[in-house]
């Protein structure tokens, strides 16, 4: 892990170090490239692989899903077994530790309560004598939630995606989860029941995204797909966008920590590793105003790393994407944070609220030493599906409005329309759209 001094390397190098690569430029590890070459007969890019999978699912439906599930996951499955059965739900409830289930219930209540505050309202207002303008808030009819299930299980992602959709009033919520060895983690199924998912399908990867986007003989077509996943899932969402909506292109996890001289290096190191253990591509950055603290954090990362069960993954992440920057002052540190536009931004400083007005780009902001990122991941209530890869400059956190549409309402009386007719006709003619003008003028004669 590198330590850079902003006073020595210059702003340009810092900005390059903070830059995020586009999803389709991320290099796949050689092991994955070799595996894909065996399947496709050529060393294809991730984008090429995804286009092939999406095209096959669109053409061949369930048959393509069965084929790719066998090739990628080593699982033979029939179309009639895609859907999780009631027996499987019952088995999951039996296998699940009751204390973990109780924690999931408390987390679900926090998430539900928080997102209920986000519900917008339909409204109307009167214009002129009896004319009406307004806005109708309409929930989506059917959404698809993707939940990862590769190297770890994510019941928290189930809660974070399904509960806001339920609060929004979505008609039907389906969920796709890769089934490791043909089975889904019991806590994922318990979380799905708690959150209110309607149907869960045991399929994953780009093929699951394509199935939800276009529909198959077994999987219904959805209006929107939400939820995080690996590079193939993310690129599949990008590929199907337009045929349905998506929440965002969620890439590898990120944490950016701003630390002053009073920050605890043990806390900072632990928080860096909390993201590094996700994925070798995950990014952990600290910007501090104290050079001695930077050295302590770096040493503490190595100490804590040795104790991690997912040490190999975390070590690769820290080696390739870990960075500590020594800034001149807190203003410079915050400026670097805004350039990075991180998924998670922690302010490990003595007065975090003083810095908050200066934050322009972040998925979520964690204020103070006792608001670590995992608090938001699991329990506090705000959503943990956040913009990554610098997209916090223009994307928002997943929320209730993700699952809603806004429809404009317009109702003018004849008198009010005719009062506005001259303006409308003038504007239509200025654009050369005479039929638009006629549609107004003709009502003066009717």
Give the tokens for residue 63.
Answer: 């048959």
Put the strands of the sheet holding 123-127 in their side by side order.
123-127, 131-139, 404-411
Q: One of 343, 346, 373, 384 is an active-site residue; which one?
A: 343
User: Interior CA angle at 348 toward 342 and 354, to 5°?
Assistant: 90
Tokens of 139: 């929930």
SS3 of 319-376: the string is HHHEEEEECCCHHHHHHHHHHHCCCEEEEECCCHHHHHHHCCCCCEEEECCCCCHHHH
| 346 assigned to active site | no
User: What residue spans of 96-204 are helical by DSSP H?
Assistant: 98-116, 155-168, 186-195
What's the Cα-to-Cα distance from 144 to each of 75, 211, 237, rounded to whole Å?
A: 22, 10, 11
The torsion angles phi and psi of 378, rounded to 5 degrees, stand at -115, -35
Q: Find, among 248, 253, 281, 148, the residue nearest to 205 by Cα.
A: 148
State yes or no: is 243 an active-site residue: no
What is the rounded distance in angstroms from the CA atom of residue 381 to the CA atom of residue 379?
A: 6
In the set 88, 254, 300, 344, the catalytic residue is 344
Give residue 290's region: left, alpha or beta (phi > 0; psi -120 to 50): beta
Q: Whats the size of the chain, residue-wise?
A: 446
Here the tokens at position 98 are 């009751």
The tokens describing 93, both together, are: 């409830």
Distance of alpha carbon 443 from alpha carbon 446, whole angstroms = 5
| Listed residue (15, 18, 89) closest to 254, CA to CA | 18
- Indicate which residues carry an active-site annotation: 343-344
């Amino acid at each position: 892990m590198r330590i850079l001094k902003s006073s020595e390397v210059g702003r340009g190098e810092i900005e390059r170090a903070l830059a995020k690569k586009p999803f389709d430029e991320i290099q796949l590890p050689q092991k994955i490239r070799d595996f894909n070459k065996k399947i496709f007969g050529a060393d294809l890019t991730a984008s090429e692989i995804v286009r092939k999978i999406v095209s096959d699912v669109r053409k061949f439906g369930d048959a393509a899903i069965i084929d790719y599930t066998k090739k990628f996951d080593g699982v033979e499955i029939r179309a009639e077994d895609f859907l999780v059965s009631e027996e499987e739900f019952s088995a999951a409830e039996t296998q699940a530790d009751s204390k973990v289930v109780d924690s999931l219930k408390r987390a679900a209540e926090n998430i539900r309560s928080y997102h209920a505050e986000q519900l917008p309202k339909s409204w109307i207002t009167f214009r002129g004598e009896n004319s009406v303008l307004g806005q109708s808030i309409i929930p989506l009819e059917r959404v698809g939630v993707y939940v990862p299930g590769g190297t770890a299980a994510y019941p928290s992602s189930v809660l974070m995606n399904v509960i806001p959709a339920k609060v929004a009033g979505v008609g039907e919520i389906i969920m796709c989860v890769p089934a490791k060895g043909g089975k889904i983690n019991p806590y994922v199924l318990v979380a799905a029941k708690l959150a209110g998912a309607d149907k869960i399908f045991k399929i994953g990867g780009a093929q699951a995204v394509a199935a939800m986007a276009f529909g198959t003989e077994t999987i219904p077509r959805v209006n929107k797909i939400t939820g995080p996943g690996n590079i193939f899932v993310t690129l599949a969402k990008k590929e199907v966008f337009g045929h349905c909506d998506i929440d965002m292109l969620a890439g590898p996890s990120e944490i950016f920590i701003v630390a002053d001289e009073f920050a605890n290096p043990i806390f900072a190191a632990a928080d860096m590793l909390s993201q590094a253990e996700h994925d070798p591509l995950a990014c952990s950055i600290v910007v501090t105003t104290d050079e001695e603290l930077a050295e302590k954090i770096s040493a503490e990362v190595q100490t804590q790393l040795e104790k991690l069960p997912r040490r190999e993954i975390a070590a690769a992440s820290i080696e390739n994407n870990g960075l500590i920057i020594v800034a001149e002052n807190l203003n410079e540190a915050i400026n670097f944070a805004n350039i990075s536009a991180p998924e998670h931004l922690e302010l490990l400083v003595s007065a975090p609220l003083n810095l908050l007005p200066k934050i322009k780009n972040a998925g979520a902001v964690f204020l103070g030493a006792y608001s670590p990122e995992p608090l938001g991941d699991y329990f506090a209530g705000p959503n943990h599906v956040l913009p990554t890869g610098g997209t916090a400059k223009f994307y928002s956190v997943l929320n209730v409005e993700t699952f809603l549409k806004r429809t404009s309402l317009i109702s003018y009386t004849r008198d009010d329309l005719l009062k506005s007719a001259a303006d409308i006709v003038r504007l239509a003619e200025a654009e050369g759209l005479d039929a638009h003008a006629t549609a107004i003028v003709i009502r003066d004669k009717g």
